[in-house]
Structure 1
Amino acid sequence: MPIQYHDQVSLLKDILSEHQSECCGTVAECEQLERVIKSLMANSSTGQNVKGVLEDIYFYSQSGKNSASLDQHIESHQDQLSQWIQDIDTFS
């Protein structure tokens, strides 16, 4: 059973918040971000303003899972993580 839009947004925010507060993460979390974002992008109720943020987060997760040091990748994106979390609050 697929999770609902609001739950997907909450999951997205939870993972990003954990990356932001812990400065570490896993490849599995990056892959989960990608799956949730793909689903949100395909959802007709996802606004165009939201899709730009989702594309940025998708690129972040792809770069992270392919980086030599995921923790360093997360640490170098602290400002963006904070901004994305704020952005998600505006559309959740």
Structure 2
Amino acid sequence: MAINYYHQLTLLKDILANQLTEDYGSHDEFHQLQSLVQSLVQNNATPEDLKQTLLSIEQYAYQHDKEGAHSHLGKVDLDSWIQQVNHESEKFH
């Protein structure tokens, strides 16, 4: 079952928030981030400015998973991305 746009945004935000809180990201989380980003980027409902953020998130997930750099995840970036995704998801309330 595919999840809708709002739920994808919520899941993305939750994974990023968890990584920010835990200062850790698992291999599975990075793959989930990449999958979510790819789906959201292909969605016509996704605004262009958010797509740029999503591509940054995808690069972050790829790089950290590839290098095994599961700590020191760049809290400033994570916080900024969470705020941007949250702003988009608030449009549905």
Partner of 1:70, secondary structure, is coil
Which TM-score applies when normalising by structure 1? 0.92
Q: Secondary structure at the match of 1:71?
A: coil
Deviates more, 1:61-70 or 1:49-58: 61-70
Whether 1:66 aligns to 2:63 is no
**Structure-2-length-normalised TM-score:** 0.91
Residues 50-89 of structure 1 correspond to what in structure 2 (within 5 A)?
50-72=50-72, 74=73, 77-89=74-86
1:10 matched to 2:7? The reply is: no
Question: Over the residues paired in the alignment, what is the CA RMSD in angstroms?
Answer: 0.9
Q: Which runs of 5+ in 1 are unaligned?
A: none
Aligned length: 89
State the Cα distance separating 1:69 from its structure 2 match.
2.9
Deviation above 2 Å: which 4+ runs of structure 1? none
Q: Percent identity?
A: 31
